[in-house]
Structures are given as structure tokens and as C-alpha cells.
Amino acid sequence: MTENFFSLLTYAFGRDLERPALLISDRRDFSYGDLDRMSAEFAATMMVLGVRVDDRVLVQVEKSPEAVALYLGCLRMGAVYVPINTAYTAAEVAYFLEDSRPTLFVCGVTDEPDLEKLADSINEATVVRSLGVLGEGSLIATMDGATSFDIAVRRSADIAAILYTSGTTGRSKGAMLSHGNLASNSVTLVDYWSWQDDDVLLHALPIFHVHGLFIAMHCAMLKATPMIFLNGFDAVAVAAQIPNATVMMGVPTFYTRLLARPELDRELCRNMRLFISGSAPLTARTFESWASRTGHRILERYGMSETMMNTSNPLIGNRVAGTVGFSLPGVAARIASESGEILESGEVGVIEVKGPNVFAGYWQMPEKTTEEFRPDGYFITGDLATMDTEGRISIVGREKDMVISGGYNIYPKELEVLLDEMPEVLESAVIGVPHPDFGEGVVAVVVPHTDQVTSAAVAEMLAGRIARFKQPKVVVNVAELPRNAMGKVQKNSLRQQFSALFTDTDAEETGA
């Protein structure tokens, strides 16, 4: 018997292959039978291209039914799916090619020739194909029409996907998620959120992170229920689809942007059963405004690439603003000090988790993996939290130096290294401060050698080197960076100093 996660999915699809899976406004609907057939076709095609069990397939493609089927095809044939953000530049892609050593790299249509050269310079053995319907020689154009493909035998511990999550020292780490991880977390969530046979999921998230790829899609797929599949988040389009849906999952920015829409009210949400938020903190203000406008209390949950979901507010029972609820069934969570001492309820410490959802380790980084696990198997998340006497968890901060902007993680170190290379910069510190749209906005605080460092100069230096969403929204010049007695930059003090930068409209860009 196989423990391939895909066999659980096909079992669900098989109950009615005619059921709509993906509802797309400008294309035909795709049924679960279509996804099943297309995944077999992709698997057969990848096999011809040389992909074998355990080989990595690096994927940087726009959201589409074909992209979903490609993911399923990888599961089906036992290849390891490695999705990356479509906003990454070629310079960033080079790292993922180098690190994951894929047998196949599937990219967008337009960038194929450039990326083929890039891949070739890194590893000649990597085959590059665009996914596109258009490109000659694209993956779809070379499909051989196979409609069946035996599901590869996989054990629960075998790796199904690698999700890159940036490292605090700049190098991205690939979190290896097993078939067992995917299966346990999705089965738990379908049950915990009581997924219904007649649920319709409003899906406007990207599908290269765990939120959109695993949490949202797996819940819908395990019950073979439809997804309204939107390519990107547009508040007008999402609001227009709310009456057709029963569940929505989103990052807090989705909710704040929807609150700005005048049509958002109880009537618009009349068919909704559940609004779920995660990937970044949902403020109590957004929670309360949403409740009063729509009558729905948003269910906040907490997770990460390494673990998928760890905790959730209850479906039935009190959803408390500013908390992420209780550890999910089968997941153990505790709050510990830096040295690993387990703390009393109410004390602030790092959340540590253990369970069948917790990843197998970082791809080719055994030391890093060992560092982030306790000897008794708990994974150290790096998130600071308290737990009350009932087990309810509230996240209060992060031990890791990381900014979460619109649900994307940005690692200051990655930017600081580049800023410090600028001849006009003496030193820099990158921080996140409250931002009305993105939750946190990236600010580069720089100490110039002589002349002020302008936003334009920073933008020019970063162009093509890192994705635009990571780039500072504001550059601030200061005479010196605050340091403690050990000489370490005090980012808390900078965060405090510039806390009103995006909320105070009179703030000057370089006027610190």
C-alpha cells in the first residue's frame, strides 16, 4: 500500500470526477476529473524528460489550472515539488537552481530563453521548460496524451515538496515536507474546520507558499469541493465573488483591503460560513471591524512553511482577537526560554512544536536542522508567544529578525548586505514598521558616508537583484545607528523611532 499523499486526493476526486474543481472567470471550469487526467499527463511527460522519483522539479509559474495539475503530477510520480515566488528575479532564481539541483525547471513562457541559459550555466543536466500553452517546446505542447499514470509508491516519510523559507543569515533554507506531513495536516484541518460537501472556497492566494498551495487547496481537494480560482487578489473581484463562496482564506491585507470596499456588508456575506486569516498577525481592530460589518468573526490560525498549521482558533467556541487559538489535534505546542526551559502560562517565550505536521529538516543543511530542534524532537519556531492556562496561544513578537509584509517574509539581512555594498552607505539596518496595507512596511535606515542616500539610488542598486516586494518602501538617513553595550544595533529602538512612518502622512522620507 502506498502512503503517497496523492492517493488520498484521488480517492476524494474519484467520488465524482465530474465535480467542478476550479472555477475561473475567463476560462472553462476544470473538474476533478480534468485535474486527475492532466496530472497523469504531466507525470508521463516529466518521465520522458528524465524526471524520476525523488528528483526535484523547480517551478516558477503563474497561478493556473495547469500549475495545479503540475503540482499534482509531481506528487503522483513521486518527484519533489519546489515552488518559488513568481516575483523573484533571475539573480534570486540562480540560488534556487544551484541549491535544489532540479532535474526539471518549469518557468513562465516569456523568460524561458534567459532562464535556460542561466540554468545551463549552473547545472547542464537541468532541463528547462516553460509551462505555457503558447511556447513551442513548452511542457504542455510536449504532452503525450497519457491519461493514466500509476501512482508512485511512497512512504509517509518520503519528501513531497521543498518550500524555501529565507534564512536569517541570508541563505534561503528549503523546508522538506513529507507525504505524511501533507496528509496529516490536511486531514486534521478538514476535520477541525468541518469542511462541508457543499463548501465553495474563494481562493485568491498565490500557490507557491504553504497557505495557498497546501492549506487552502488541500482542504478543498480532500472533499473534492470547488474553488473560485482568482489569479491574484483584487478587492473588487474578490468582493464580487463573496456571495458565491462559503469559505475564504487570506492574509490580513485581504481583510483590510476588503474593509475599504463599500459593498462589504452582511448581505454580501450571507452565504459565507467561514473567513480564515493567517500568515501574519490579524489586528484586533480588523477583527472587530470585520465582525461589525459582516457579522463574521474571522478565524485566525498560525503556521509556517516548516510545519504547515500548528494552531487554530476554534470553529465552534470563542474566537479571540489577537490570539491564534489552540494547538491542533495531534500537534503539541509549548512555550520555552532560549535555553529550552519550559515556561509557565502567561510568560513570554518561543513557541516550540512537535507532531506529524513538522517537517523532516532543511534540504542539505543538517547542522541548521539540528540547531532548530530540541533533543526531544520539538521544533523551535522563532515566534514569541504566551499560552494561557487553557492552552490558548497569543503571538507577541518574533525572535527571528524578519519582516512580514502582506504575508510575505522579508529577511533584513538580505537587504542589509546589499545596502552595505553601496559606496555611499557607511552602514544600514532594515526594519519593519506598522503599515496600513501590508501590516508591516520595510524601511531601510542608512548611515551615509557624506551625502544623503536617496530612495532612487537604493532602488537602482536593488533593481534586478531582489524581488520588488522585498525592497524598502522608504529609505531614512540617520547620523548613527543605536547600539547596545555589546555593539549590537538596537532594532527595537529604531522600530519605535519610526513607528509612525507609514501611518503619519506628514512623515518626510529622509527627514529623520
- The grid cell for 223 is 472533499
Residue 320: phi and psi, rounded to 5, are -100, 125
**What letter represents residue 165's amino acid?**
T
Q: By CB under 6 A, is residue 438 in contact with ligand MLC? A: yes
Is residue 305 at the binding interface for ligand AMP, with CB under 6 A as the rule?
A: yes
CB of 303 to ligand AMP, least distance (A): 6
Alpha-carbon span 375 to 87, nearest angstrom: 37
Q: Which one of ligand MLC, ligand AMP, none interacts with residue 383, CB within 5 to 8 A by kind? A: ligand AMP
CA distance 198 to 195: 9
Is residue 303 within the footprint of ligand MLC (CB under 6 A)? yes
Q: Which does 405 bind (CB under 5 to 8 A by kind): ligand AMP, ligand MLC, none?
A: ligand MLC
Choice from 7, 253, 327, 357 touching ligand MLC (CB under 6 A): 253
| Rounded Cα–Cα distance for residues 56 and 53 (Å) | 9
Residues 389, 418: Cα–Cα separation, whole Å: 45
Residue that the C-alpha cell 518557468 belongs to: 107
383 belongs to the binding site for ligand AMP (CB under 6 A): yes
Q: For residue 187, give the C-alpha cell.
A: 486531514
Say how many residues make up the chain.
512
> Minimum Å distance from CB 206 to ligand AMP?
11
CB 415 within 8 A of CB 491: no
Does 229 bind ligand MLC (CB under 6 A)? Our answer is: no
Exposure class string for 267-305: b at 16+ Cβ within 10 A, else e? ebbeebbbbbbbbbbbbeebbeebeebbebbbbbbbbbb
Backbone angles phi, psi at 136, to 5 degrees: -65, 140
Is 252 an interacting residue with respect to ligand MLC (CB under 6 A)?
no
Q: What angle do CA 125, 109, 81 make, to 5 degrees?
A: 50
Taking the CA atoms of residue 58, residue 63, residue 64 and residue 69 in that order, the dihedral angle to the nearest 10 degrees is 40
From 406, 412, 432, 448, residue interacting with ligand MLC (rule: CB under 6 A): 406
- Within 207-246, the residues that bind ligand AMP by CB under 6 A are 209-210
What is the grid cell recorded at 6? Answer: 496523492
Regarding 381 and contact with ligand AMP (CB under 6 A), the answer is yes
Stretch touching ligand MLC by CB under 6 A, among 122-130, 152-160, 184-192, 401-409: 401-409
205 binds, among ligand MLC, ligand AMP, none (CB under 5 to 8 A by kind): ligand MLC
Residue 206 binding ligand AMP, by CB under 6 A: no
Considering only 159, 183, 280, 430, the residue that binds ligand AMP (CB under 6 A) is 280
* Piece in contact with ligand MLC (CB under 6 A), picked from 49-57, 147-155, 403-411, 501-509: 403-411
Residue 301 C-beta: closest distance to ligand AMP, Å: 6
Binding stretches for ligand AMP (CB under 6 A): 165, 209-210, 278-281, 300, 302-305, 324, 381, 383, 395, 398, 404, 409
Binding stretches for ligand MLC (CB under 6 A): 205-206, 209-212, 232-233, 251, 253, 278-279, 303-305, 405-408, 438, 468-469
